[in-house]
Amino acid sequence: MATHYSANQYQSAFNSANLQNWTVPKPYKERPSTHDGFTQFVANDRGHLLPGVPRTKANPWGTFMGTWDMPLKIPPAKLSLTARSADASKRLTQWIEKSDPLISACNGLRLTVTGKVCPIPFLSLSQFLFYLIVLERELRRSYDRHDTSCPGDTGHQDKT
């Protein structure tokens, strides 16, 4: 909320009589409170720093990054590592680390990384087909070892 100061004799002209608001106004001070201490000058009348005043190495205009200063390719703001291989997630994280000036700029990238790296590397098509064949053989062996009757079947045939 804004700070409200008293206007003394002119205050009554601006007081509203019946606004029909059901809100209670914020209490305010009659006069602004004083600050402790004093103001110390750091520049002369021409705007130059006085001798002995420490000068910062930071840019006086802040960390704003203009269009021409930004990289050609900007990494995604929301990055999910869930369905990515270890190589792909490593490549993405290196890309993000390489664009550190963009992340540290005041108008830069606000990054959120979610998910975990897949510990199992992705298989090629031939490896995947081989895996399916081996899995099918294992399922057939386990199926042959166990009883193949239905659980609701009692083994008796009805005589009609």
Give the pLDDT confidence of 70-89 residue by residue, as tens digits. 888 888 888 888 878 888 88
Can you name the residues that pair with 80 across neighbouring β-strands? 114
Higher pLDDT, 125 or 130: 130
Phi, psi dihedrals of residue 106, rounded to the nearest 5°: -65, -30
29: pLDDT confidence band, cut at 50, 70 and 90?
A: confident
Give domain status of residue 71, yes or no.
Answer: yes
Give domain status of residue 100, yes or no.
Answer: yes
Say whether pLDDT at 111 is over 60. Answer: yes
Q: What is the pLDDT of residue 70?
A: 86
Give domain status of residue 22, yes or no.
Answer: no
Domain with 77 in it: 61-141
Nearest to 79 by CA among 114, 109, 108: 114
Give domain status of residue 88, yes or no.
Answer: yes
Neighbour-count burial of 89, counting CB atoms closer than 10 A to its CB (0-12 exposed, 13-18 middle, 19+ buried): buried
Q: How many domains does the chain have?
A: 1
Question: pTM, whole model, 2 decimals?
Answer: 0.40
Say whether pLDDT at 64 is over 80. Answer: yes
Q: What angle do CA 17, 20, 26 make, to 5 degrees?
A: 80
Q: What is the pLDDT of residue 88?
A: 85
Give domain status of residue 102, yes or no.
Answer: yes
The two three-digit tokens of residue 153, written as one number: 């079947």
